[in-house]
Copies of this chain bind each other. A is one copy, B any other.
Amino acid sequence: MKAVIIAAGRGERLRPVSKEKPKPLTRLLGLSLIERVIFTAREAGIREFVVVVGYRGEMIKGELGDGSRHGVVIEYVENPRWQRGNGVSVLAAEEALSGERFILLMSDHLFEPSVLTEVMGLSLDEEDSLLVVDGDPGGHINIDDATRVLVKDGAIVDIGKGLTEYNAVDCGIFSCSPGVFDALRKSIDRGDETLSGGMRWLAGEGRLKAHEISGRFWIDIDTGENLKRAEEMLCRTLIKPTDGVVSRYLNRPLSIRISKRLVETGLTPNVISLLSFLVCLASALLLSAGSHLGALFGGVLVQLSSILDGCDGEVARLKFRRSEYGAWFDAVLDRYGDAAVVLGLTYGWWSHHGGHTVWLIGYIALLGTFMNSYTAIKYDPIITEQRKAWRFGRDVRSLLIMAGALLNQLFYLLVTLAVITNLVSLRRILVLRRARAVNAA
């Protein structure tokens, strides 16, 4: 299915932020608003876009190009009358569509990809159009600005900004039958050039269904305040339900702050993984000096590397650049980094005290650390949320290493690591054994 994106407006109220740029090019966490809309739709499986441009359309074309850079096809339609209602912009797209059903999106409405996946999965009557609505919008929606809708039995019976009787608001995401163009023409003929005008016509004919998404992420960005709010909401999605306590309350708040800067730099997630790995190597070198000063700085860098370790994934998610390879590459680098740190601790203590005991313990700590990562592959998918919070993962291990290094207790730190990591691995083997018993029963 093709998607039409309306990107013709100027965005008067965003001018303090967007300056001379057209509204769709307003930056938010490293991407323009229209890029966010396109990438969201791409994640839902849409590959062909018709972008209706108006105000400073050349700037938008210049930034997006033909879409090939992003693995999509973008066709542009000009609406020289962009200062009139947005219904005129939608109508301008008619010729670019071959009479097929299409998805209609606004360049200033952000939402999560699953909403669109759902809409595309619904089976609609050929003549019906559909509007995504929110029956319980959060505080981030200014109800005075919102287009209100009245839904009865899954169909929209009225729509408009000034509605006094309403039970939901318009989220700016549509699945349109080609009949929408006739409705728009009739509405424009009667003097209403807004998209809502056309939709009201369809609603009057009983041809506009509603799809409810209350509680899900979506936002209409009209003001600088909305933009700030959207940034907060997007950052909040970066906290994974699987994050343990150290991740959630210590690392994540810091890594998100760093990621907010990193998204602007153009560094790819894999380069950020490498960066975190290099910090880890540096910490291993400092620890290997065996001095208290080395341990102090090394310990802090271990924890810093652990924080940076969250940034690659965060930047990937914020910029729609997640990849299976990227996640794996990060995991592989983490294993090398883990090994370097344990080696640094071992060598650091040995260089001052000698003996082979510390090598033996370092070896066992490395074995345990590795087995934690190896068993995690099977263990993580089966454990409960509650267990995940207290999971002994890389976040906890790094914090433990920092604490031991700051106290300059490298030997006891290695002993602790050797004992805990191996016990944790053993426990996981037993948990998985039990889980199998449960499955078989």
Question: What residues make up the interface of A, taking CB atoms closer than 8 Å to B?
Answer: 323-325, 328-329, 332, 335-336, 339, 343, 346-347, 350, 356, 359-360, 362-363, 366-367, 370-371, 373-375, 377-378, 425, 429, 432-433, 435-436
In the complex where A366-B363, A374-B373 touch, is A332 in contact with B429 (Cβ < 8 A)? yes
Task: Give the oligomeric copy count.
Answer: 2
Q: What are the residues of chain B within 8 A of A328 when measuring CB–CB?
A: 378, 432
A343 proximity list for chain B (CB < 8 A): 360, 363
Instruction: Name the CB-closest residue of B to A363.
Output: B343
Which residue among A324, A325, A362 has the maximum number of chain B CB atoms within 10 Å of its CB? A325
Residue of B at shortest CB range from A436?
Answer: B325
Q: Which residues of B contact A329 (CB under 8 A)?
A: 429, 432-433
A325 contacts which chain B residues (CB < 8 A)?
A: 432-433, 435-436
Interchain nearest-CB distance for A372 vs B (Å): 11
Alpha-carbon separation in the docked complex, A325 to B378 (Å): 9
Task: Select which of B356, B366, B432 is within 8 A of A366 by beta carbon.
Answer: B366
Contact of B367 with A367 in the complex, beta carbons under 8 Å: no
Q: A335-B370, A336-B367 are in contact. List 8 more A-B contacts (CB 8 A).
A: A329-B432, A332-B425, A343-B360, A356-B359, A359-B363, A366-B366, A373-B374, A377-B377
CB distance from A183 to the nearest CB of B (A): 41
Q: Tell me the complex Cα distance, A370–B360, Å.
A: 17
- Enumerate 26 A-B pairs (CB-CB under 8 Å) in ascending A order: A324-B436, A325-B432, A325-B433, A325-B436, A328-B378, A328-B432, A332-B375, A335-B370, A335-B371, A335-B374, A336-B367, A339-B363, A339-B367, A343-B360, A343-B363, A346-B363, A356-B356, A356-B359, A359-B359, A359-B363, A362-B363, A363-B363, A363-B366, A366-B367, A370-B370, A370-B374
A356 and B367 in contact, given A329-B433, A429-B332, A433-B325 (Cβ under 8 angstroms): no
Residue of A328, A346, A432, A436 ringed by the most chain B CB atoms within 10 A: A328
Q: How far is the CB of A63 from chain B (nearest CB, A)?
A: 22
Distance in angstroms from A317 CB to nearest chain B CB is: 18
Kindly state the separation between the CA atoms of A241 and B425 in the bound complex, as whole angstroms.
32
Structural contact, B366 and A336, CB atoms closer than 8 A: no
Contacts of A324 in B (CB 8 A): 436
For residue A199, give the distance in angstroms from its CB to the closest CB of chain B: 39
Question: Contacts of A436 on B, CB cut-off 8 Å?
Answer: 323-325
For the complex, give the distance between the alpha carbons of A378 and B429 in Å.
21
Q: Is the CB of A371 within 8 A of B336?
A: yes
Please, which residues of chain B bring their CB within 8 A of the CB of A370? Answer: 335, 370, 374
Q: Which residues of B contact A350 (CB under 8 A)?
A: 356
Distance in angstroms from A140 CB to nearest chain B CB is 35
- The residue in chain B whose Cβ has the minimal distance to the Cβ of A350 is B356
Measured between beta carbons, the chain B residues less than 8 angstroms from A435 are 325
Which residues of B have CB within 8 Å of A336? 367, 371
CA distance A435 to B328 in the complex (A): 13
Bound CA span A370–B372, Å: 12
Closest 6 CB pairs of A and B: A325-B436, A359-B359, A339-B367, A370-B370, A328-B378, A343-B363
Contacts of A373 in B (CB 8 A): 374
Cα distance, A116 to B102, chains bound together (Å): 45
